[in-house]
Structure 1
Amino acid sequence: MGPSRGRRRVPTASGSRPAPAAWCSGTVTRGSTATLSRPRRVFSCSFTHDELLKVWKGLFYCMWMQDKPLLQEELGRTISQLIHAFQTTETQHLFLQTFWQTMNREWAGIDRLRLDKFYMLMRMVLNESLKAVRTRGWEEKQVEQLLELLITEILHPSSQAPNGVKSHFIEIFLEELTKVGAKELTADQNLRFIDPFCKIAACTKDSLVLHNIARGIFETIVEQAPFAIEDLMNEMDAQNGEDEASDGDGESLEGSIRRTDLEKGKGTGDDEDSAGPVLQFDYEAVANRLFEVASRQSTPSQNRKRLYKVIQKLQDLAGGTFPEDDIPEKTYRHLLEGRRERKMRRRSLKSRSKNKRRRTGGLSACLPWGGQCPMPDMALQGAEEPSLPSGLTWPGPPTAVEPFRVVPRPHLGSDFPAACPQLGPST
């Protein structure tokens, strides 16, 4: 009986060799399995650019076919953690580069029902790429290489990234950087992370990219300034508290347990107004860097105008002046509602006065008693009492003033007294 030409048998982890999902031309680490649920194994072989594009196309449609939300999240986390399976920085960056190239290529074919899970996948991949830099101690060279890769594939004018990928990347960058490194990064390191966005904002000719960077990066920094200062003050208070606790030896165990419980209660998010760790920035240094790139002659005028507004806000923050937008949300909402009420009240008063002038205006304003003119065809101007033919007098003020009504001029003929009974026969 000849060799079987049917479907090829896939060996399992318990067989004599590892599964295809866990091996390549090189050696395989111990304990690798055929499933995708354990991405911590290390690939000792190298992939080419085209091979990783094929891998990412398969992973893309793996996410495409998953419809259950919880499984989508688990699958996205598993796929994004594959970056840690590569040993060298070059292979990790090649893995990230092919991911963003795949997203740029396939983005136009994603329908609106599948859009959210690919937004989530982009967020998770960015988060894991920042974690990979954190494992190397936030080295300056590693940070620069990662930022250069991201800017080249997404925000550079020569990139093929669609607007949806650009906008979402700008929106989530500071959020994911905050989650990964808010407790470790200094103000100088954070400035290094946003420096490429300063350059792109100064030189881009895409108004959408300029708006998204100004809103999603710089104005977000301005809005988070009160929380950043509060976070810094809490850190200093915690250090002072630890020093005082080390000095005082007479505290009881019960008191320490109670204090620990209170601190845990504060950290669990019971307070709605409490915010997590926030990135620290030197606002004067950020303003100086923005001014440096915005004041160049090659910067378009609309970019310079927009960046100067951001620079002014950052300089105000450096001087200790907080913008009105950084008032706590409840207080700001109360002030905003009060302003709206005052504006509506002013508008209603203006509309009432206009309607009143319309009702009482016209010829009635020129009469001595402000009543209705008995002869609307007479030209009455000024506040002086108009002259009447000899032997005729104005009637007294009416008891009830009716709105002015224009009537046609009566024919002054033989029936003139009948047409105008207030006036006697003409002399």
Structure 2
Amino acid sequence: MASSSASPTPPLAKYLASTDKKTRDKAVRNLSAFLSDPERPHLSSHDMDKLWKGIFYCFWMSDKALVQQALASELANIVLSINDNTASLEFLRGFWRTIVREWDGIDRLRMDKYYLLIRRFVNATFRLLTRSDWDSGLCQVYNDILTTRGGPLCHDDSRVPMSLKYHLADIYLEELDKVLAWDPEAGDPSPPPVPIDTLISPFLTLIARTPSSHTFERVMSAVLEPLVESLTPPGSDEPPSKKRRRLLGNEMTFVADNSRASDLSTPDKSSLRRVLLKQVFSVASEEDTRDSNRRRLYKFWKSNLDDDEGAHDASHGVDAS
């Protein structure tokens, strides 16, 4: 189980998938050291997939809730332990390719723990991007991981199960809010503001192009509607419905207070809300947007306009009817 650069990855994958827990635990420790080694050779996609096959079954065989929680955190934290951000994202790409490929084979009794694993990886990825001060290049690579074929938000990859898209939509802003949480009274450092328009763009592309009405509705209700609602000034709208309040949850306090647009350093909430609505309109206007989705996106955009936005867009001859 040596992790030297001369050691190929398949033996390590075999140890990760061992039926013996001690062997698996040792393999996980070696995995972290191996991937964090700056001297190791670059792993091809084929070798990364072999490695992730072993990791997947290592987690598959983990029993008892506390063991599963600890292992999920340990595996996700490898994203942060790798010294090179590019290598971290390649490890993450291997994770999503494997999850998409293996998802339909996960039985009902094991599904919850894989939902947990996904939560941990989404959280670790946000921490990685926060550590990089939301580097625009890394954010774009991350979005590419999510949206290209083999990624969980790819709109035209039939291998991606809807339940996986739904879960990612459900937890995305919740995990981001956790990462952005800070307490100034406790002396916590303020996190760098997140370029929220960049971070949600994979979901906007998905709802623009998905042929599934259910996917459109789930992403709208779990991502776009609560986000725009969190940036709406108090008193400017009617109170959210009971369903809307449930979806808003903790109202994403930290996301709303620690977000910016990619081209604005410190916008207020109203300005950021306008940026997001403009982004919705732009996506709706794209040639590849499905006509039925285009109409629904225009309707959402129009229903959330304030007077200034309406005047601005009217001056540009916009017809979103």
Relative to the length of structure 2, the TM-score reads 0.68
Partner of 2:37: 43
Q: 1:317 to 1:171 in 2, by over 3 A?
A: farther
Stretches of structure 2 that go unaligned for 5 or more consecutive residues are: 8-24, 182-189, 236-248, 260-268, 310-321
TM-aligned CA deviation for residue 74 of structure 1: 0.2
TM-aligned CA deviation for residue 34 of structure 1: 4.2
The amino acid of 1:107's aligned partner reads W
The amino acid of 1:224's aligned partner reads S
Higher relative CO (Cα under 8 Å, sequence separation at least 6) belongs to: 2
TM-aligned CA deviation for residue 79 of structure 1: 0.8
Pairs aligned (count): 251
Measured in 1, the distance between the counterparts of 2:26 and 2:62 equals 19
Is the CA contact (8 Å cut-off) linking 1:83 and 1:95 kept in structure 2?
yes
Stretches of structure 1 that go unaligned for 5 or more consecutive residues are: 1-18, 27-32, 231-271, 320-427
The amino acid of 1:175's aligned partner reads E
Partner of 1:288: 278
Measured in 2, the distance between the counterparts of 1:305 and 1:64 equals 43
Q: Does 1:212 align with 2:218?
A: yes
The amino acid of 1:194's aligned partner reads I
Is the CA contact (8 Å cut-off) linking 2:146 and 2:202 kept in structure 1?
no
Percent of matched pairs sharing the same residue: 28
Is the CA contact (8 Å cut-off) linking 2:173 and 2:255 kept in structure 1?
no
Measured in 1, the distance between the counterparts of 2:119 and 2:53 equals 18
TM-aligned CA deviation for residue 214 of structure 1: 1.2
Is the CA contact (8 Å cut-off) linking 2:207 and 2:219 kept in structure 1?
yes
Partner of 1:307: 297
Measured in 2, the distance between the counterparts of 1:224 and 1:300 equals 27
TM-aligned CA deviation for residue 75 of structure 1: 0.5
**What's the secondary structure of 2:89's corresponding residue?**
helix
Is the CA contact (8 Å cut-off) linking 2:156 and 2:210 kept in structure 1?
no
Alignment of 1:192-207 (within 5 A): 192-207=198-213
Measured in 1, the distance between the counterparts of 2:90 and 2:222 equals 27
TM-aligned CA deviation for residue 103 of structure 1: 0.8
Q: 1:60 to 1:223 in 2, by over 3 A?
A: same
TM-aligned CA deviation for residue 314 of structure 1: 3.1
Please say which structure displays the higher CA radius of gyration: 1
Is the CA contact (8 Å cut-off) linking 2:153 and 2:202 kept in structure 1?
no
**What's the secondary structure of 2:52's corresponding residue?**
helix
**Deviation by residue 1:15-66 (Cα, 9 ceiling, x = unmatched):** xxxx53x44438xxxxxx9463587642221322222212211111111112
Partner of 2:6: 25
Partner of 2:77: 81
Alignment equivalent of 2:254, drawn from 270, 277, 300: 277
TM-aligned CA deviation for residue 290 of structure 1: 0.9
Partner of 1:384: none
Alignment of 1:2-401 (within 5 A): 20=2, 22-25=3-6, 34=26, 36=28, 41=33, 42-44=36-38, 45=40, 46-152=42-148, 153-159=151-157, 160-181=159-180, 184-186=191-193, 189-225=195-231, 277-279=254-256, 280=259, 282-296=272-286, 298-316=288-306
The amino acid of 2:275's aligned partner reads A
Q: 1:297 to 1:80 in 2, by over 3 A?
A: closer
The amino acid of 2:132's aligned partner reads R
